[in-house]
Structure formats: structure tokens, C-alpha cells
């Protein structure tokens, strides 16, 4: 009995180091793959929003496209369309500078058939 407990005690401290190293590696991977790129995107968006000036064409998060008429500290006035409607938005609501010409389409699954198609094939 004494021999088994002595062997278990000596081996327990040696196996802790690889487990601890694996946890540190997992945290590092999460940082470099998830946290760091997100912080870069936030920083770029904040720089873009702080550099907005009168005359820039922007797209809001809601999809409204217009030209900036006035820039305030935390908001901006946007002029939309030919009827010259002016709307005030918070700066955080700006999605991109310039217009987005196309919407990113979700690819369809063309390999699979619907239940209707399967019945028609029979």
C-alpha cells in the first residue's frame, strides 16, 4: 500500500506541468485568433468614424445612404436623396464610408433537392 501511494504522489506533480502548459497555449491561441483581430476592427472603425467630414458619402448600419451635411461631436447630419431630407445620426451608426454597391449573397445549396423536387423526379 505504501509503495502505491508514494508512486501516485510523485507522479501527480509531474503531470501538472503539461496540463498547465496546454491551458496557456489555448489562451494564447484564443487571443491571437479571436480577441486581437476584433480589437483591430474596432480601432479601424473608430478611426473611420472620427475622420468623417462634410461632403463624404456614407452608409449607415440600417442601410441608409447619404451625404454628410454637418458633423458634431457625437452625431452627424445626413442628407438623403433628391428631396434633400436631412436626418441626424449618432456616429456609431455609420457602417462604412462610401456606398456599398452590392449585397453579399448567401450561396445556395444547389447539390440538395427539396422534397417537392424528389417527388417530381419519381
Strand order in the sheet with 75-80: 85-90, 75-80, 65-71, 57-60, 94-97
CA dist., res. 92 & res. 97, Å (int): 12
Per-residue pLDDT at 1? 44
- 3, 46: one domain: yes
Structural domain containing residue 3: 1-51
Number of domains the chain contains? 2
Cα–Cα dist 35/13, whole Å: 32
* Within-domain flag for 111: no
Who contacts 69 (Cβ-Cβ below 8 Å, separation ≥6)? 54, 77, 78, 79, 86
pTM passes above 0.75: no
Band of the pLDDT at 101, cuts 50, 70, 90? low
**CATH number of the domain enclosing 60:** 2.30.30
Residues 47-61: tens digit of each pLDDT: 999 999 999 999 999
Amino acid at each position: 500500500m505504501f509503495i502505491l501511494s508514494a508512486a501516485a504522489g510523485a507522479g501527480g506533480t509531474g503531470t501538472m506541468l503539461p496540463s498547465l502548459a496546454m491551458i496557456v497555449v489555448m489562451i494564447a491561441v484564443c487571443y491571437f485568433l479571436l480577441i486581437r483581430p476584433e480589437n483591430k476592427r474596432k480601432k479601424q472603425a473608430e478611426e473611420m468614424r472620427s475622420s468623417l467630414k462634410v461632403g463624404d458619402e456614407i452608409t449607415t448600419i440600417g442601410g441608409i445612404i447619404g451625404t454628410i451635411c454637418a458633423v458634431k461631436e457625437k452625431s452627424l447630419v445626413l442628407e438623403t436623396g433628391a428631396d434633400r431630407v436631412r436626418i441626424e445620426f449618432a456616429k456609431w451608426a455609420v457602417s462604412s464610408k462610401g456606398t456599398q454597391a452590392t449585397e453579399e449573397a448567401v450561396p445556395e445549396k444547389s447539390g440538395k433537392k427539396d422534397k417537392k423536387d424528389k417527388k417530381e423526379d419519381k
